[in-house]
Amino acid sequence: MFELLQTDPSSKARLGRLTTAHGVVETPVFMPVGTQGSVKALDPRELVEMGTRIILGNSYHLNLRPGLDIIRAAGGLHRFINWSGPILTDSGGFQVFSLATIRKVHAHGVEFRSHLDGSPLFLGPQEAMAIQKTLGSDIAMVFDDCPGHTSTPRELRAAVERTLRWAGECRAQPLAPGQLLFGIVQGGTSAPLRQECAQALAALQFDGYAIGGVSVGEPEPEMMRAVEMTESFLPPGRPRYAMGLGTPAQLVELVARGVDMFDCVLPTRVARNGTAFTRKGSLSIKAGACKADFGPIEEDCECFACRRFTRAYLRHLLNVGEILGLRMLSLHNTWFFLKVMAEVRTAIAAGTFADYRREFAASYVPTRKVLLARAAAAER
């Protein structure tokens, strides 16, 4: 199922191969997010052409719309969305627990109200696994309790206990043919709780392990520490997945800390706000500095947007509300994330990851500095 091919001598970076029912995934890997059955603004052909090997779907949203009856009638999620590659589905736990003001936690799940129409719903381990079985995803996630960044020690302890109890219940549920099941480690910023949760989940022998409870409002140093205090207690022969992370620079650093899989909405979300990712940091294409800039989003980028269109044209599209502008920035950003992961894999294989990591960190700077540098160059 997972083969560890090579480790980096300068860090905990790993090169691996994950075999699923719908294909092989080389790790480290970035998974574009298709929350409601579609990676926003991109079609499956484009995703395949840019090197996407696995995408993520959201079982909470797909269960509400279009509903399991429709997906079942279509022959499963793969056929419904016309995606032949692997799919990872989350359990819906994060979405449920984000509805803190309209939910009530019980021993075997959470009672809450739909964010669409307020209708009462219940989601627990059995329900979450039944949904993912019907969807037929390649990788299913257990139903867990994701505490917020400001949770008290008592709340963190309760969340870990529920996470472990529910993980055991999820482990006992039937899966779709060939479906893999990943456990999720919680514990907030508590090293003892992280260790306890990771070791208990390892004893249940899941197919992979996710590091949950990160990117929930905590500062970046705390996020990195949470990953570090979890990774060392996870089985080395199973894939590690950091949920909901992160920026390109964060991904490189998390690979160095032993993480194999990532997902994040940033590539398409910031594209809808007119922002592009580059090797020098994020860049606002809407900014005045791009008004008469007839170069590509990024020099030497081979994505379709950079080969065909200029910053000036894309800025125009964004300012007049043309959909093409959002699509091209989404395409470029997704391409960029996938390209970084491909370069990381190449560097680990070649034994040059330490150099790649250092050079990437040195060149990736905040947006403001990029814009100021370009404005200064234009004035000269």
Catalytically active residues, by annotation: 90, 263
- Please name the residues in contact with 321: beta carbons below 8 A apart, sequence gap of 6 or more: none
What's the CA angle centered on 128, arms 123 and 132, to 5 degrees? Answer: 150
Q: Which two tokens stand for residue 64?
A: 């509400």
Name the helix (H) or strand (E) containing 121: strand 120-123
How is residue 33 annotated by DSSP?
Answer: B
Beta carbons of 231 and 212 less than 8 angstroms apart: no
Q: Find, among 318, 270, 248, 265, the residue nearest to 39 by Cα.
A: 265
Q: What is the C-alpha end-to-end distance of the chain, expressed in Å?
A: 56
Using alpha carbons, list the distances in angstroms from residue 117 to 37, 64, 65, 112, 121: 20, 10, 12, 12, 11
118: left (phi over 0), alpha (psi -120 to 50) or beta: left
Look at the chain and count its residues: 380
Cβ neighbourhood burial of 117 (10 Å; 0-12, 13-18, 19+):
exposed
Q: CA-CA distances (angstroms) from residue 358 to 46, 233, 250, 253, 305?
A: 31, 27, 13, 10, 28
